[in-house]
């Protein structure tokens, strides 16, 4: 892992200009950023205490049709310093949730200054990278604004792998700067269902009764 991270840092300085680069198509790896929370005000990681560092979280989702080996994927914020390297395998439709506490532990193990996920509350970016041989590729990224990082507001895809939206049920947003309020709740480690209207089942007798 030390060699992977060292290679990542070296190649990253070569491939990525200050203005960033376009992500490769999600279908190339199947892995996408799915939801994140930059302004925790509650105990999201279940440690028993609230920490603005440890309770930040990022969720990735396998939108592809095959399992993905996560060993070459890393997460950074906008400064592009590795915050955590993923590991294991993620099956199709699977989610991997990482907390700031996980990033803090990984950074210490790698000899990095330990700051956790380091997601700024004014504005920042969440970035997912893949190391392939001598290249480091930006797989997916999202640049967020300050209102998206307010207390216990998450930003996620309305449905897993879909378009981005603000999940503000725990801290309602009343402003007019997009993304606008949805009233949806954060769903770390669970399926995103924002805007998904459930189907009501009924009997034929009840349907006939509506038109009497």
pLDDT confidence of residue 207? 39
Q: Mean pLDDT across the chain, nearest whole number? A: 85
Q: How many CA atoms lie within 13 A of 98 on its CB side?
A: 28
The span from the CA of 105 to the CA of 102, in Å, is 5
pLDDT of residue 35: 98
Average pLDDT on 127-133 reads 95
Q: What angle do CA 11, 101, 61 make, to 5 degrees?
A: 65
Distance CA 78, CA 159 (A): 25
User: What is residue 78's predicted lDDT score, i.e. its pLDDT?
Assistant: 97
Q: Tokens 């105990």 label which residue?
A: 43
- Give how far Cα 173 sits from Cα of 114, 178, 182, Å: 32, 10, 8
**Tens digits of per-residue pLDDT, 11-63?**
443 334 333 344 444 445 799 999 999 999 999 999 999 999 999 999 999 99
Q: Output the pLDDT for position 195.
A: 77
Instruction: Note the pLDDT of residue 28.
Output: 56
Q: When comparing pLDDT for 36 and 8, which is higher?
A: 36
């Amino acid at each position: 892992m030390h060699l992977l991270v060292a290679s990542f840092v070296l190649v990253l300085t070569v491939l990525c200009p200050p203005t960033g680069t376009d992500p490769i198509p999600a279908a190339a790896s199947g892995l996408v950023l799915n939801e994140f929370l930059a302004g925790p005000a509650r105990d999201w990681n279940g440690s028993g205490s609230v920490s603005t560092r440890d309770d930040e979280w990022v969720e990735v989702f396998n939108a592809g049709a095959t399992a993905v080996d996560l060993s070459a994927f890393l997460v950074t914020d906008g400064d592009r310093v590795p915050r955590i390297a993923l590991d294991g395998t993620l099956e199709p439709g699977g989610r991997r949730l990482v907390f700031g506490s996980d990033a803090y532990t990984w950074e210490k193990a790698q000899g990095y200054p330990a700051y956790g996920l380091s997601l700024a509350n004014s504005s920042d970016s969440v970035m997912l990278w893949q190391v392939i041989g001598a290249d480091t590729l930006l797989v997916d990224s999202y640049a967020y604004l300050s209102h998206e990082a307010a207390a216990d507001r998450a930003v996620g895809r309305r449905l897993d792998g879909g378009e981005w939206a603000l999940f503000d049920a725990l801290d309602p947003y009343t402003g007019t700067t997009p993304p606008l309020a949805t009233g949806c709740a954060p769903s770390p480690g669970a399926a995103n269902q924002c805007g998904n209207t459930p189907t009501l089942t009924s009997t034929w007798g009840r349907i006939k009764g509506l038109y009497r």
